[in-house]
Amino acid sequence: MRKDIKKAVIIVNLLKPEAENLVAEITSYLDSRGIAADVFGYAGKPIDPEITGADIAFALGGDGTVLFSARTLAQLGIPVLAVNMGNFGFITEVSKNEWQETFEEYIEGKLRLSRRLMLKSVVIRNGAEIAEYHCLNDSVISAYGISKMIRLSVSLNGTHLGKYRADGVIVSTPTGSTAYSAAAGGPLMEPEMEAVLLNPICPFSLSNRPLVINSDKKIEISVDSDQRAEIMLTVDGQTVFPLKPDDIVVFEQAAEKALIINSDKRNFYEILRTKLKWSGGPDA
């Protein structure tokens, strides 16, 4: 079914080469088709765009730009066309030379939306909720600065899993399974799976292994009172919240999902093969 696009939003990382030229190219094209466009640019500093009434969003940059865009747009139900302005990312699969063709195929109804699970993290202190964050990739509890072992207690749907002594814990979505969690030895998951990954970072006990959990489960991680380091919650690698002893962080699937426009140029496994340099031979 053909899409009726009347207004677009462009979120652009201005630190990327040719960013301003690409914005000018896209806005000129949209104007020629009678489509209004609001542009929100950032250059390393957070922004808080006021977005209303948009039918589509362009995220111009890399995976980091898409993560920010997803957190901003998911609750508004706005689909994101992620355009990569560097090397291909795991989320940004459309090159800066393919955006127009991809956009036209989307409005003609030829491309599907990838509905990505997002994760909600709620910080509870002294029985009160003091912070809430949503992420597309992952939320991480770890120490500030140089890696130090921290102590955490982990429960799943009220069942105590155990106490973790580790550099931290990653709670990841399927989309984020190819990011920090993969570097920490976690499994790779198809991005549209309904699951959450719990992955300890360098645990003291080898029995603490990554767990893939159905997304309807609730994970509670308590910060033990006996700590030798300051502890933080990091959301999508972009937002940091300081935690205190006895804080509880509750993780569960968010009500909304990120809507990513799928390209027909390459699929998840082709990107995996390219990014991870799978060859099937002795150099794989």
Query: Do 118 and 73 contact (CB within 8 A), yes or no?
Result: no
How many residues does this entry show for the chain? 284
Pair of tokens at residue 107: 């409005």
Burial class (CB in 10 A: 0-12, 13-18, 19+), 178: buried
- Identity of the amino acid at 21: N
Residue 83 neighbours by CB distance under 10 Å: 27
Residue 232 neighbours by CB distance under 10 Å: 16
Residues with Cβ < 8 Å from 24, sequence gap 6 or more?
A: none
Residue 227 gets the label, from left (phi > 0), alpha (psi -120 to 50) or beta, of: beta
Interatomic CA distance for residues 143 and 168, integer angstroms: 7
Residue 22 gets the label, from left (phi > 0), alpha (psi -120 to 50) or beta, of: alpha
The residues annotated as belonging to the active site are: 63
Query: Do 249 and 141 contact (CB within 8 A), yes or no?
Result: yes
DSSP string, 46-98: -------S-SEEEEEESHHHHHHHHHHHGGGT--EEEEESSS--SS--EETTT
